[in-house]
Structure 1
């Protein structure tokens, strides 16, 4: 998969990940969480109990009230970003879909590195695998193929509490709820960046045509207005399944038309809180 490296680098310079520290409890790290821990940032007080570290006593409070209380500090957390990129054959049509999906993957990986994190990337193509080395090389070599995509992901290697981002057209046969149940288990937050073509979002009546399903074979179809209307109804039900499955789990569904390009996609990610301005 190719992506516009210069445009991604320019965008990354003005953005940061929209991470939520409240759901992570992974010990020492680079961001302040909401619970007590060992950072220098004050969290709250609690009453002294025998065996507590006397160095944490707040002597100013004792001088005012005679009460022995401990100062507690906020925990430092180490966010974990997991990106699952759909590399099935459907992501290659049109080429703009694969290019934008790769660009958004590269953007999130770059932002993770800028935040001092190691991005964890899964490429879900003909041979689904977790990238163990240089993600730039692995992403550049990825060629959309096969019919698996998100449905081929087993969840192996996914860690509890992680920020999990799915990048896909979302056109899974089993539907969004089944995918989220399998891949969302234990996630701190999970969202879908859904990259679709305009013809998938808003198809036109074409008449009698010979269609080639890149993942399932060819067939002759009559794409007339009733067929288009039926497709739109099925798509609406399919999309509703994704939205319901991801409700309350984070940034939800960030829907993007591939032909709109990277800038429009970034605006959508900003609106959904997946990224934020520096």
Structure 2
């Protein structure tokens, strides 16, 4: 745990910081370097959990619990569920929907890094408040005084920024419908037309030698169903044995 004497750090705190700090940096790099969106979300969840451990180690118990319950437990799990339900194709992740967004993200990242360096340097020169003084009336009351009194405008501006980001995400995710929405009757009629499928297609692996999501299901005539495998997966072909034990 951290000591109350300004400018001094215990051995346990130093070991905790360097070990978990390195893991947090690795997780942050994994967020931007992972090829799959699900892996990127998992790296972000790992970084958030490590930050919660840092908060608890600094006697900010309320902030650490909120970090785990709200951000890691609710927000990140929501991200994962959306990614698993909607899916992100590898070709879609390479398309830049907003021109210049990568350059802008790089500039903002460099500016945020300089801001952190300036903040740490200012605290190192001017000194910082000890934990006993910061938590004199309790951790929750001290945190509320900082958010709703000292940094009220910054807190409100951050809230407005998050709301704007949520609205922008909804606008970008919206898909305009240009054609006529087919009714249940029209969909049923299309199934019985030549080339349609009157019944539901089998799941991946059905009637095949392996029950796997990357193996195409086989139709009653023995031909593989290309529609049964997700286009984001590389379809794996498995030889089919005939009734005499040989491979067809």
Query: Do they superpose with TM above 0.5?
Result: no
TM bucket (normalised to shorter chain) is under 0.3
- Greater fraction of residues in strand: 1
- Greater fraction of residues in helix: 2
Normalization by structure 1: what TM-score? Answer: 0.20
Normalization by structure 2: what TM-score? Answer: 0.22
- Larger relative contact order (C-alpha < 8 A, sep ≥ 6)? 1
- If you compute each CA radius of gyration, which structure gives the higher value, 1 or 2? 2
